[in-house]
């Protein structure tokens, strides 16, 4: 059984990607006329411009929060450098493997004088904080059918982020590094988290609120939506974004996010509207990340 699982594991992401692609293609085939009937006027394009700007600002804020995470491990990180590095590396998540943005971030942090252990832990903690924030967003706006499992998942993630859990991980990384380089561990060289990372968690919660607002703006650009439906849209977005983050599939959660958002929101909103919204959201997200990387590169050149 274990051998079978180990053989199937490398192909799991392609199975998930194929299944989500089939689901989306089937939904589009059945609702293509509804999608084609959606028109975007001048006001809609202006709203989409705001969604693009908000998404880019959300990415910039996420980079600032990454600097806070490094500070939790007693590292001195210039906020401008952290934000610029985050923006420059984040676009690499669309490369096959979905790990290269983390690798480049750790490499850049080491070149800036940040320890390997702290840099590695920062890219491990960051998605956990994002996942916890997304679960909290979904939990706050959850229906009676989903709040139980969301609460359990949130409790697990919150426990994982506790200093009593992360500090031994940091210690283990220090021991592995010392053994690999045949060096001794000096006093104070093991990086431990002294307190619960509340400030970075609140920062990631703000990031999710910002991204969710961008998704709401995209839906508003396509069709009128009542303010009473905003919580449902943000909740559905948060959970879809979460699954796109944690499930293996195409790089950047491509396909997983779209299929999950459609499954969660299809009962309240028209299928054609959600299909159009998730497609435009993906374009807006990629443009925002590419634009952020370009601006970070220009800022680095300008500052010399």
Q: How many CB atoms lie within 10 A of CB 300?
A: 14
pLDDT in tens, 164-193: 776 666 666 555 544 543 444 444 445 566
User: Residue 163 corresponds to which tokens in the numbers above?
Assistant: 């200093």
Mean pLDDT for 130-142 is 78
Cβ neighbors of 48 (< 8 A, separation 6 or more) are: 40, 217, 218, 221, 280, 284
Any domain includes 5: no
Of 189, 246, 240, 176, nearest to 212 by C-alpha is: 240
pLDDT in tens, 251-262: 666 778 888 888
Task: Enter the pTM of the model.
Answer: 0.81
Any domain includes 100: yes
CA pair distance 255, 24, nearest whole angstrom: 8
For the cut 70, the answer to whether the pLDDT of residue 217 exceeds it is yes
Any domain includes 65: yes
Any domain includes 287: yes
State which residues form the domain around 291: 39-303
Q: SS3 for 249?
A: coil
Any domain includes 225: yes
Q: For the chain, what is the domain count?
A: 1
Any domain includes 170: yes
Q: 18 burial class (0-12, 13-18, 19+ CB within 10 angstroms)?
A: middle
Average pLDDT, the chain: 78
Any domain includes 135: yes
pLDDT in tens, 96-128: 767 788 889 989 998 988 888 788 888 888 888
Question: Could you tell me how many residues make up the chain?
Answer: 304
At 55 the pLDDT is 93
User: Residue 203 corresponds to which tokens in the numbers above?
Assistant: 């920062």
């Amino acid at each position: 059984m274990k051998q079978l699982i180990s053989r199937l594991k490398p192909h799991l992401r392609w199975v998930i990607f194929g299944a989500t692609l089939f689901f989306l293609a089937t939904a589009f085939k059945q609702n293509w006329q509804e999608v084609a009937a959606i028109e975007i006027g001048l006001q809609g394009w202006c709203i989409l411009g705001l969604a693009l700007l908000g998404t880019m600002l959300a990415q910039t804020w996420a980079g600032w929060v990454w600097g806070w995470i490094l500070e939790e491990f007693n590292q001195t990180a210039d906020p401008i450098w952290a934000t610029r590095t985050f923006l420059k590396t984040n676009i690499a998540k669309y490369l096959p493997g979905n790990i290269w943005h983390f690798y480049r971030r750790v490499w850049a942090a080491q070149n800036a004088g940040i320890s390997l252990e702290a840099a590695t832990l920062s890219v491990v903690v960051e998605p956990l904080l994002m996942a916890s924030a997304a679960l909290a967003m979904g939990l706050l706006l959850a229906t009676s059918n989903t709040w139980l499992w969301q609460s359990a998942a949130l409790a697990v993630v919150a426990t994982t982020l506790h200093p009593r859990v992360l500090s031994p991980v940091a210690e283990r990384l220090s021991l592995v590094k010392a053994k690999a380089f045949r060096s001794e561990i000096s006093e104070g060289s093991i990086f431990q988290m002294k307190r619960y990372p509340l400030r970075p968690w609140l920062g990631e919660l703000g990031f999710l609120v910002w991204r969710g607002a961008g998704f709401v703006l995209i839906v508003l650009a396509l069709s009128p939506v009542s303010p009473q439906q905003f919580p449902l849209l943000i909740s559905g977005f948060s959970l879809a974004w979460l699954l796109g983050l944690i499930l293996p599939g195409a790089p950047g959660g491509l396909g997983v996010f779209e299929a999950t958002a459609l499954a969660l929101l299809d009962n309240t909103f028209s299928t054609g509207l959600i299909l159009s919204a998730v497609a435009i959201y993906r374009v807006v997200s990629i443009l925002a990340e590419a634009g952020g990387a370009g601006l970070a590169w220009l800022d680095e050149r300008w500052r010399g």
